[in-house]
């Protein structure tokens, strides 16, 4: 019944006071009607009594008035007339059956809930008067007076108890409201302070990331997210974003030694160099520091990773050999001419002793300068020679390990079967770039599937097969996939981003190492990329270049 009234009141968009009046009055009215029905069934003579009918009629009329009166427009005391009328109605009904006087509990409880002790005393006075009217036919004996006092005391006790409870409830509600408002203001201040802190954090040009002892990336500023090509809405770290290296064009850092893993272990680092190869194909040299930070909300110790971009400085250092080579080359030609002409002059006759001494000084200085320049040229040539003999199996295993977290995040299973040693002569960094690009594509174009990396020696070559069960390509797309800027139609239909340059660069690197690359694919069934590279024979002394 109460739920019905509440929904009706809500549907009519009425006030709280009107809703309360309806609830009390209608609940009381339905209770009286239900009792009247029961009485009519048990004793039909009572239902015909004039006082009983008048009492029910009065209560029903009061209920009708309660439904059509806009109580929110009148003072609170106006609604007091309804429970007073109900008390009179119950008194009239009790004339025919004294037990119906128990219904006085409803209006007394109503008055006690919303009004003060003064209104309760007035209601008890009306109840006492109606009780006197009810007992008049029986006379006012001692037993009747005692019964009257017990009824009034019981109703008074009930009313006072409800008044005290209602006051406490209102006080508690008021206190709760004030505390909620205070908490809301505090929360807004904290959010405002947090917003300002995040704005300052993001405005710092140095890449900053906060890592918990459990390895969770708690926070990262804009510079850090851009550096690792992270989704600004998700702090998920992906190996495809940027790969960390121990040196320029050196060996990729294993997953257990990345800056994130070292920070999670609590290693403290100051000014250590770190090389990144990012998604755009650019090298970045970073100065890395790891310091202890404040615990997170769970009480875990956290550590702050600070990465300062030193790319401009290291680029200048790497460019120095080129500058030295150019300058040395340009100086060698005029020095050779000076030395040649000095030799010719020394072989001629008619020179004085002083002239010959000067020419010998010129010749000696030119020879020393030429020797120095030749040494600088030899050093720069040695620095340019990046090709070495190494085990390609280690590179394949490191790539699989680096992409395992990204595959797991996409619900993809990645596994490798590498049978070594797989010695190859070439540029380790470039071949790692080849493997990373193909594995990254396999993960990107697979949805909750499997990516496999298999490699083994076959005669004089190394066979590498990287397969997936992703979206695949049509035969026409396979024929054009090494074309610069070409992207398969299935990729474009799925809205997957990319430049279309990766596979062309991959083929050029493989062919520059004397190998070849082929692609097999079927739409909806996946793609298989096969790479063949020359195997360096192994002797008891080691691999033979």
Cα separations in angstroms, 374 against 317, 367, 370, 380, 386: 20, 10, 6, 10, 21
pLDDT at residue 230, as a whole number: 75
**Is residue 488 within 8 Å of residue 522, measured between CB atoms?**
no
Considering the domain 205-309, what is its CATH architecture? 2-Layer Sandwich (3.30)
8 Å CB contact between 88 and 57: no
Gyration radius from the chain CA atoms: 47
Per the listing, tokens 């029903």 go with: 60
In the chain, what's the furthest Cα-to-Cα distance?
169
Say how far apart CA 393 and CA 502 lie, in whole Å. 22
Contacts of 376-383 with CB under 8 Å at 24 or more apart are 376/324, 376/325, 376/328, 377/325, 377/328, 377/329, 377/332, 379/321, 379/324, 380/321, 380/322, 380/324, 380/325, 380/328, 383/321
279: Cβ contacts below 8 Å, ≥ 6 apart: 229, 240, 241, 242
Tens digit of each residue's pLDDT, the chain (545 residues): 545 444 444 444 346 778 888 888 888 888 888 887 887 788 777 777 888 888 888 988 988 888 888 888 888 888 888 898 988 888 888 887 777 888 888 898 888 888 888 888 888 888 888 877 767 666 667 776 787 788 888 888 888 888 888 888 888 888 888 998 898 888 888 888 777 877 777 777 788 888 888 878 888 888 888 888 776 655 555 545 678 888 877 778 888 888 888 888 888 988 888 888 877 778 888 888 999 888 877 778 889 888 888 877 776 666 666 666 556 555 666 777 776 777 777 777 777 888 777 777 777 667 667 666 665 555 555 444 457 888 998 888 888 888 888 788 888 898 888 887 899 998 888 888 888 888 888 888 888 889 999 999 888 899 999 999 888 888 888 887 777 655 555 555 554 544 456 777 788 889 888 999 999 988 888 899 999 999 988 655 555 55
What's the burial of 243, exposed, middle or buried (CB within 10 Å: 0-12/13-18/19+)? Answer: buried
Predicted TM-score (pTM) of this structure = 0.42
How many residues would you count in the chain?
Answer: 545
**Which residues have CB under 8 Å from 50's CB, separation 6+?**
none
Do residues 199 and 218 touch, judged by C-beta distance below 8 A?
A: no
Asked whether 337 and 308 are in contact (CB, 8 A), the reply is: no
pLDDT (0 to 100) of residue 462: 92
d(CA 446, CA 407): 10
- The domain locations on the chain are 2-178, 205-309, 321-383, 389-543
* Torsions phi, psi for 214 (to 5 deg): -85, 0
The neighbour count for residue 423, using CB atoms within 10 Å, is 21
- How far apart are the C-alpha atoms of 465 and 519, rounded to whole Å? 10
Measured CA to CA, the distance from residue 224 to residue 260 in angstroms comes to: 12
> Mind giving me the DSSP string for 449-498?
-EEEEEEEEETTEEEEEEEE-SS---HHHHHHTTSTT---HHHHHTT---
> What pLDDT, on the 0 to 100 scale, is given for residue 13?
38
Query: Contact at 8 Å (CB) between 78 and 21?
Result: no
Cis check: omega of the bond before 519, within 30 degrees of 0: no
Structure tokens at 178: 């004030």
> Using CA atoms, how far apart are residues 108 and 311, in angstroms rounded to an integer?
84
Q: Which residues pair with 461 in a beta bridge?
A: 458, 534
CATH class in words for 389-543: alpha beta
User: What is the helix, strand, coil percentage profile of the chain, to 5?
Assistant: 60, 15, 25
């Amino acid at each position: 019944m109460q739920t019905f009234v509440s929904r009706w009141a809500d549907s009519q968009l009425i006030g709280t006071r009107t809703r309360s009046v309806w609830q009390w009055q209608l609940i009381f009215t339905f209770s009286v009607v239900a009792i009247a029905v029961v009485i009519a069934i048990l004793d039909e003579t009572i239902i015909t009594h004039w006082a009983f009918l008048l009492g029910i009629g009065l209560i029903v009329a009061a209920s009708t008035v309660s439904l059509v009166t806009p109580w929110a427009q009148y003072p609170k005391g106006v609604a007091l007339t309804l429970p007073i009328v109900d008390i009179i109605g119950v008194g009239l009904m009790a004339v025919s059956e004294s037990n119906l006087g128990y219904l006085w509990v409803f209006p007394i409880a109503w008055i006690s809930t919303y009004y003060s002790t003064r209104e309760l005393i007035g209601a008890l006075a009306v109840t006492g008067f109606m009780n006197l009217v009810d007992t008049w036919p029986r006379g006012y004996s001692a037993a009747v007076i005692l019964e009257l006092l017990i009824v009034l005391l019981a109703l008074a006790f009930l009313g006072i108890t409800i008044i005290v409870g209602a006051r406490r409830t209102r006080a508690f509600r008021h206190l709760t409201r004030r505390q909620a408002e205070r908490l809301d203001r505090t929360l807004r201040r904290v959010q405002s302070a947090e917003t300002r802190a995040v704005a300052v954090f993001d405005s710092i040009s140095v890449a900053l990331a906060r890592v918990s002892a459990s390895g969770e990336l708690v926070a990262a500023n804009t510079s850090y997210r851009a550096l690792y090509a992270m989704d600004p809405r998700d702090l998920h770290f992906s190996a495809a974003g940027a790969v960390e290296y121990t040196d320029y064009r050196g060996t990729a850092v294993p997953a257990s030694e990345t800056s994130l893993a070292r920070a999670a272990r609590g290693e403290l680092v100051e000014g250590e160099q770190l090389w990144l190869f990012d998604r755009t194909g650019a090298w970045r040299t970073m100065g890395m520091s790891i310091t202890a930070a404040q615990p997170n909300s769970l009480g875990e110790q956290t550590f702050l990773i600070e990465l300062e971009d030193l790319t401009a400085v290291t680029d200048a250092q790497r460019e120095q050999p080129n500058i030295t080579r150019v300058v040395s080359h340009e100086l060698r030609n005029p020095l050779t001419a000076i030395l040649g002409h000095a030799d010719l002059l020394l072989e001629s006759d008619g020179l004085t002793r002083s002239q010959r001494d000067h020419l010998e000084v010129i010749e000696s200085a030119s020879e020393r300068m030429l020797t120095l320049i030749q040494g600088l040229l030899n050093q720069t040539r040695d620095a340019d020679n990046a090709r070495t003999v190494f085990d390609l199996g280690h590179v394949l295993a490191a790539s699989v390990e680096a992409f395992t977290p990204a595959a797991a995040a996409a619900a993809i299973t990645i596994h490798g079967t590498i049978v070594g040693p797989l010695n190859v002569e070439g540029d380790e960094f470039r071949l790692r770039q080849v493997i990373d690009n193909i594995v990254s594509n396999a993960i990107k174009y697979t949805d909750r599937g499997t990516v496999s990396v298999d490699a083994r020696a076959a005669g004089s070559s190394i066979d590498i097969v990287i397969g997936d069960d992703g979206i695949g390509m049509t035969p026409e797309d396979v024929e054009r996939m090494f074309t610069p800027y070409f992207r398969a139609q299935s990729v474009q239909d799925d809205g997957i981003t990319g430049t279309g340059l990766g596979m062309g660069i991959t083929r050029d690197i493989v062919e520059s190492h004397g190998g070849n690359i082929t692609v097999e694919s079927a739409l909806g069934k996946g793609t298989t990329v096969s790479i063949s590279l020359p195997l360096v024979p192994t002797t008891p002394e080691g691999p033979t270049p």
